Structure 1
Amino acid sequence: MDNNFFQCKTGMHFDSFDVDGVITREDFEQLAQRFLTGIGFTRESSQGRSILDGAGQFWDNLAQAADGDQDGRITRQEFSKAVTDGPLGSPDDFAKAVRPWAEAVVQAADVDGDGRLSTEEYRRMLGALSEGREAPREMAFTGGPVAVDVAIEAVQQFYASGDPSHPTSRFFGQV
């Protein structure tokens, strides 16, 4: 693992969650809403409720690990400390924190409920996750169905991989 890359990447995640200098539960609700808009579900749908719940659990996991003063707000300093030498200090730990969100995202993307993401379902999920950024070509076309557990791992790695050569690490462009 490249620790500098991981720290830089998690800093970019902070920026993607943040709208006002700190991250809060509301920021994660907005993250969920952006995903729902991108994939085409409403908050009231069963998928929407699952996505909101997954984002809430992701927030709870981050807040438990990073909100040192327990004020319901995570500063950049708190976040950086948690991912540098704290409870989220490894990609595996960060992947565990993001797993409820990853599961909700993938389950919502599996529109036909067959336990696999078709190429189109996978593309829609990546497009919604990347929020308008172009997904890498090798990620956008899989050449066939992707098992849900493989897709969950891909979403976790989107957030947590410490490997600069991992395809999901390029969602943000050059880190």
Structure 2
Amino acid sequence: MAYSWDNRVAFVVRYLYDIDNNGYLDAHDFHCLALRTCVLEGKGDCSAARLQKYQHVMLSLWEEIAQLADFDKDGTITVEEFKQAVQNSCVGRKYEDFPQAMKAFIETNFRMIDINTDGVIGIEEYRYDCVQRMVLEDIKVIDDAFNSLLNDDDRRKGGLTLSRYQELFAQFLGDSSDNCQAIHLFGPLEL
């Protein structure tokens, strides 16, 4: 099922962390994530100071993930190792209880999606984020996914605030049911 916990966690590996698309995570992915984040957040600009900040964030994330998930200590993390680490560190937990480096990544990811930097991910920004990594032919599917995430407070604010995004991200990884509200956080998922 596209929205099973296993598929959601595999999605995180494939589309958020495995930048070089080789099927596993290693330090190279996180070096590349730092540059990608710097360029995207800077809308093309990549200052040395901001790049250094993101290198620190992403390499800290890699070190934390490696400590939690590189069970065989070979310097790479498979999807199965990552799933086991998420099971151990995130399932059944709130955002506040997530590993610190993962929280930093989630906050950075929010800032990358919030293109206009107004503190809210609106439908246009959500659409942009979805089409960057998925092949989709109908905008309605994306819009329906976005609208399924929103509660009344989100609708009043025009989308997802950082605190709401954090809450949904924690559900996406930490709720093992196939129908939690956060299943569409990254758009309509495929198997």
Of 62, 70, 91, 1:59 maps to: 62
Q: What letter matches 1:60 in structure 2? A: E
Q: CA RMSD in A?
A: 3.9
Q: Secondary structure at the match of 1:9?
A: helix
Deviation of 1:48 after TM superposition, in Å, equals 5.2
Instruction: With the length of structure 2 as denominator, give the TM-score of the two structures.
Output: 0.61
Gap regions ≥5 residues in structure 2 = 135-141
- Distance in 1 (CA, whole Å) between partners of 2:77 and 2:53 is 24
| Residues 91 and 64 of structure 1, relative CA distance in 2, 3 Å threshold | farther
Structure 1 position 131 matched with structure 2 position 140: no
Structure 1 position 27 matched with structure 2 position 29: yes
Deviation of 1:22 after TM superposition, in Å, equals 1.9
Q: Deviations over 1:27-83 (max 9, x none)?
A: 133345445555525342766555444333332221111012333211234224334
- Are 1:57 and 1:101, in contact at CA under 8 Å, matched by a contact in 2? no
Q: Secondary structure at the match of 1:131?
A: helix
| Residues 69 and 156 of structure 1, relative CA distance in 2, 3 Å threshold | same
Of 73, 81, 84, 1:81 maps to: 84
Match in the other structure for 2:74:
71
Gap regions ≥5 residues in structure 1 = none
- Are 1:22 and 1:73, in contact at CA under 8 Å, matched by a contact in 2? yes
Instruction: With the length of structure 1 as denominator, give the TM-score of the two structures.
Output: 0.65
Q: Secondary structure at the match of 2:60?
A: helix
Match in the other structure for 1:106:
110
- Are 1:83 and 1:89, in contact at CA under 8 Å, matched by a contact in 2? yes
- Are 1:36 and 1:48, in contact at CA under 8 Å, matched by a contact in 2? yes
- Distance in 1 (CA, whole Å) between partners of 2:182 and 2:49 is 27
Structure 1 position 173 matched with structure 2 position 175: no
Deviation of 1:154 after TM superposition, in Å, equals 3.2
Q: Secondary structure at the match of 2:89?
A: coil
Q: Secondary structure at the match of 2:84?
A: helix
- Distance in 2 (CA, whole Å) between partners of 1:71 and 1:173 is 30
Q: Decide which moves more: 30-39 or 13-22.
A: 30-39
Match in the other structure for 2:139:
none
Q: What letter matches 1:106 in structure 2? A: F
Equivalent pairs counted in the alignment come to 166
